[in-house]
Amino acid sequence: MAGTDLYPVAGCKFYIGGITPTQIDDFIESDFVTSPDQFVEVDGWSQMGAFGDTAALISTQLINRGRDIKQKGTTNAGSMQNVFAEISEDEGQIALIAAAQGDNKSNYAFKVLFNDASGASGSEPSVAYFVGLVMNASSAGGAANTVRNLNATIEINSNVVKVAAT
């Protein structure tokens, strides 16, 4: 029977990798693990955005049936809207800001490291990998007793590769 433990978001980590072009076929784990220092952690992650495929709706209006028939169309892995406590000297945040520049049209590799390792010796947490465009990395204020934030939206341009915890 599969484990039924629940894990908090606290302890998860977000990483940006290098420029990674999209490809015709779905990505697999080995496309992302070529070098252990390929990814840089983005520090100060305070809000994890949603990600994962959603199918487009195709609706066909059939006159003779008086009914719309629906089909699933292409899939879109979404827009991951993340919030980070602004840390101006953090290498990961600097990389996000550079990737968001208007003249930068490149896709980047991303990694989400979850905190669901079993705790047994040699266990590893689950991981999600994907490729996407950094659409913005905007500073945001708030109320008097809040820190400045960096809001970053990643438009995911690939499948999401999920690697189970071991």
Q: Tell me the domains of the chain and their CATH numbers.
A: 13-163 (2.30.110)
Confidence (pTM): 0.91
Segment 10-55, tens digit of pLDDT: 999 999 999 999 999 999 999 998 766 789 999 999 999 999 999 9
Whether the pLDDT of residue 2 is over 80: the answer is no
Q: Which long-range contacts (CB under 8 A, 24 or more apart) does 133-142 make?
A: 133/99, 133/105, 133/106, 133/107, 133/108, 133/157, 134/16, 134/96, 134/99, 134/100, 134/104, 134/108, 135/79, 135/100, 136/100, 137/93, 137/96, 137/97, 137/99, 137/100, 139/86, 140/83
Which pLDDT score is estimated for 101? 98
Segment 111-160, tens digit of pLDDT: 999 999 888 888 899 999 999 999 999 999 988 999 999 999 999 999 99
